[in-house]
Amino acid sequence: MRLIPSKTSSSSSKHIALTRIRFGIIAIVVALIYYWSIQGMHFEGLQSTAGTVSRSILQGFLHPDWSFVYLAEGEDLLRGLLDTLIISILGTVVAAITCIPFAFWASSNMSRHLATSGSGKIILSIIRVFPEIIVAILFIKAVGPGSFAGVLALGIHSIGMLGKLYSETIESIDHGPEEALIASGANRLQVLRYAVLPQVIPQFLSYSLYRFEINIRSATTLGLVGAGGIGTPLIFALQVRNWNRVGIILLGIIFLVVMTDLISGWVRKRII
């Protein structure tokens, strides 16, 4: 704390004292927060069956149920993973298209009034706050369980983040081409088509792919509430404590996530 030991003026020692007081207050507040949190965490002790359950979980993960990878009658791992992949592709596409008007709405350089872009930004952040699982539950109630609810949930939830990233891209474009076009008499639509879009499309695609990587991870759990994909067989396997099956599904999820990350990362590198 003693950064300036040579200066023994009263102001520096006062400064040190102030820093110490502030540090002390922060420490007390943090300690209180933790005290409060631990109060709420009532640990009932291990279940009497915890030992055997852990052992069977470990057994299940070490011996995954390979027969589940492909079943003739359907509802197997491969189809579940394919569903998950499709849900996240469609969800990302829905969001990538729907968020464009939101993005232009929220960009401060696209409207004259600050209130316009400000309200757009607020709407986007409200959309971002809802966890996709909650959105999925609402859509299941509206359109019934299945992949469609999953697609809608990811589509709506992703608008929040994609809209924000898109609008930041729009705000950072080079205004040279735009001004040149306006000067030569282009209308607003032409400016949009020939000056704005060529600059933002590669970045839009890259962000959409990034969101796709996130959506793959979310889509694996959407099935836990009934919105299609690999989560549906997963929750069944968890409910009946079929750990061998949970093990193979977990392997499948890891495989899918790693593969899509590799491919999407490669494509992203080529786009920009």
Among positive and negative, which fits the CA dihedral 154, 156, 161, 162?
positive
| Joined tokens for residue 24 | 């002390």
Nearer residue to another protein within complex by CB, 192 or 214: 214
SS3 108: coil
Closer residue to another protein, CB minimum distance, 181 or 256: 256
User: How many angstroms separate the CA atoms of 55 and 36, rounded?
Assistant: 34
Cβ atoms within 10 Å, residue 118: 13
Q: Which residues, 6+ apart, have CB-to-CB distance to 114 below 8 Å? A: 108
Q: 3-class DSSP state for residue 16?
A: helix
**By C-beta, is 182 or 205 nearer to another protein?**
205
Task: Indicate the residue among 42 and 188 with the shorter CB distance to another protein.
Answer: 42
Q: How far is the CB of 252 from another protein (least distance, A)?
A: 11
Q: Give the closest residue to 83 by CA, choosing from 267, 254, 232, 236.
A: 232
Work out how close the CB of 210 gets to another protein at its nearest, in angstroms, rounded to a whole number. Answer: 7
Check the CA dihedral 6-12-17-23 and report its sign.
negative
Which chain residues interact with another protein by CB under 8 A? 33-34, 36-44, 46-47, 50, 53-54, 57, 82-83, 86-87, 89-90, 93, 125-126, 129-131, 133-134, 137-139, 141-143, 147-148, 151-152, 210, 213-214, 217-218, 220-221, 224-225, 228, 234-235, 238, 241, 246, 250, 253-254, 257-258, 261-262, 264-266
Shortest CB 238 distance to another protein, Å? 5
Question: Which token pair is 143?
Answer: 């359109």
Q: Which helix (H) or strand (E) holds 68?
A: none
With vertex at residue 268, the alpha carbon angle to CA 263 and CA 271, rounded to the nearest 5 degrees, is: 130
Q: Which is nearer to another protein, 106 or 152 (CB)?
A: 152
Nearer to another protein, 36 or 115 (CB): 36
Nearer to another protein, 58 or 175 (CB): 58
Q: How is residue 189 written in tokens?
A: 């639509």
Q: What does each C-alpha distance from 174 to 29, 63, 197, 265, 271 come to in angstroms?
A: 46, 57, 12, 26, 19
Q: How far is the CB of 2 from another protein (least distance, A)?
A: 15
Question: 186 or 214: whose CB is closer to another protein?
Answer: 214
Query: Measured at the alpha carbon of residue 160, what is the angle toward residues 200 and 228, in degrees to the nearest 5?
Result: 110
Q: How far is the CB of 47 from another protein (least distance, A)?
A: 5
Residue 205 CB, nearest approach to another protein (Å) = 9
